[in-house]
Homo-oligomer: A and B are copies of this chain.
Amino acid sequence: MKISIDNLHKAFESRIRLGIMSALSVNDTLDFNSLKEFLDVTDGNLASHIKALEKEAFIGVKKSFVNRKPNTKYFITETGKKAFDNHLKALEQLIKSQK
């Protein structure tokens, strides 16, 4: 028997990152405060996990101005969508192996 953890992506180990990816999978774009509210985390914590996912090119940023105020929105990339999907499939496999 070999437990298949190889298909679990290290970038998604943190539950906050799982949460970010989940939220961005079901919403086209979300701004920082909405993400923060969804996940109930601190600014610093959220920012560092967003940065890590951006570095992997799993999420992207859209910067614009709304009423002259800067507005930053995050979205999931195609790469991110595929990687997250594979990760969830691997988790599903692991859960199935327990039943």
Contact at A88–B92, with CB atoms within 8 Å?
A: no
Task: Give chain B nearest CB distance to A94 CB in angstroms.
Answer: 6
Interface residues of A in 46-99 (CB under 8 A from B): 88, 91-92, 94-95, 97-98
Contact at B5–A18, with CB atoms within 8 Å?
A: yes
Q: How many chain copies?
A: 2
- Range for the number of chain A residues in contact with chain B: 20 to 34
Q: With an 8 A cutoff between CB atoms, is A29 at the interface?
A: no
Interface residues of A in 1-19 (CB under 8 A from B): 1-3, 5-6, 8, 10, 13-16, 18-19
Chain A residues close to B by CB (< 8 Å): 1-3, 5-6, 8, 10, 13-16, 18-19, 22-23, 25-26, 37-40, 88, 91-92, 94-95, 97-98
List 19 additional A-B contacts (Cβ < 8 Å) besides A3-B23, A26-B98. A1-B23, A3-B38, A3-B39, A5-B16, A5-B18, A6-B40, A8-B18, A10-B15, A13-B14, A13-B15, A18-B94, A22-B94, A22-B97, A25-B98, A26-B97, A88-B94, A91-B91, A91-B95, A92-B95
